[in-house]
């Protein structure tokens, strides 16, 4: 079992991006002939990974560390709030097509929300300088996708704003039919 900390996009954000990808199935079909093993990630698995904890990590220990870290963030930052985020733009890593995750809300609060997102990644255990907020939407085994070939509608995409009210400790389990994600713990960002 692999364990990671994530933020799940809202249903509205997932639905909106799904519609954009569905509009472009013909363009993706042409690319899939060049990219061996090209496949879309199920929309139900779309998430923003804050930190990958690895194989065999104890989800209970990860959750306790997150609870303590989030409490410290709230205590030390009088302006701590739930981050407002949106899915926007697109790009590639080796074998991965992604859409970015950027701060939402009013322009004057975006830098603050970006710092908050990076603080959450640091609290989860990631290096905030190397943190590249994104959601993986497709994968392939071989081949290179020149970013200029990503359909314009996706590179210019800006989805609806959603609030990330909790961190999720997720178990990634391989079984029949592929990988399955299961949220093991939910850590609210604000006290109830």
pTM: 0.92
185 classed as catalytic: no
Catalytic residue among 53, 134, 152, 185: 134
47 classed as catalytic: yes
What pLDDT does 153 receive? 86
Which residues constitute the domain of residue 148? 2-188
Q: Is the CB of residue 43 less than 8 Å from the CB of residue 14?
A: yes
Cα dihedral 133, 139, 142, 143 sign: negative
What pLDDT does 156 receive? 94
What pLDDT does 12 receive? 98
Rounded to whole angstroms, the Cα distance separating 15 from 96 reads 20
What pLDDT does 150 receive? 84
The CATH number covering residue 86 comes to: 3.90.1140.10
Catalytic residue among 47, 53, 152, 185: 47
Domain count, the chain: 1
pLDDT in tens, the chain (192 residues): 899 999 999 999 999 999 999 988 777 777 767 788 888 999 999 999 999 999 989 999 999 999 999 999 999 988 898 999 999 999 999 899 999 999 998 888 888 899 999 999 999 999 988 999 999 999 988 888 888 888 888 999 999 999 999 999 999 988 787 789 999 999 999 987
Strand order in the sheet with 96-103: 39-40, 134-139, 96-103, 84-93, 162-163
Rounded to whole angstroms, the Cα distance separating 51 from 168 reads 11
């Amino acid at each position: 079992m692999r364990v990671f900390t994530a933020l799940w996009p809202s249903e509205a954000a997932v639905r909106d991006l799904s519609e954009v990808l569905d509009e472009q199935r013909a363009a993706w079909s042409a690319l899939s002939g060049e990219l061996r093993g090209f496949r879309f990630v199920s929309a139900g698995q779309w998430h923003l990974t804050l930190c990958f904890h690895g194989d065999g990590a104890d989800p209970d220990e990860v959750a306790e560390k997150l609870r303590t870290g989030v409490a410290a963030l709230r205590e030390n930052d009088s302006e701590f709030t739930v981050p407002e985020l949106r899915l926007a733009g697109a790009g590639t890593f080796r074998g991965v097509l992604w859409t970015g995750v950027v701060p939402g809300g009013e322009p004057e609060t975006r830098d603050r929300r970006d710092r908050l997102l990076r603080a959450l990644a640091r609290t989860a255990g990631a290096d905030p300088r190397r943190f590249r907020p994104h959601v993986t939407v497709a994968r392939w085994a071989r081949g290179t996708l020149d970013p200029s070939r990503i359909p314009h509608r996706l590179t210019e995409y800006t989805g609806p704003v959603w609030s990330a009210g909790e961190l999720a400790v997720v178990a990634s389990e391989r079984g029949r039919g592929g990988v399955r994600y299961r949220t093991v713990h939910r850590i609210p960002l604000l006290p109830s």
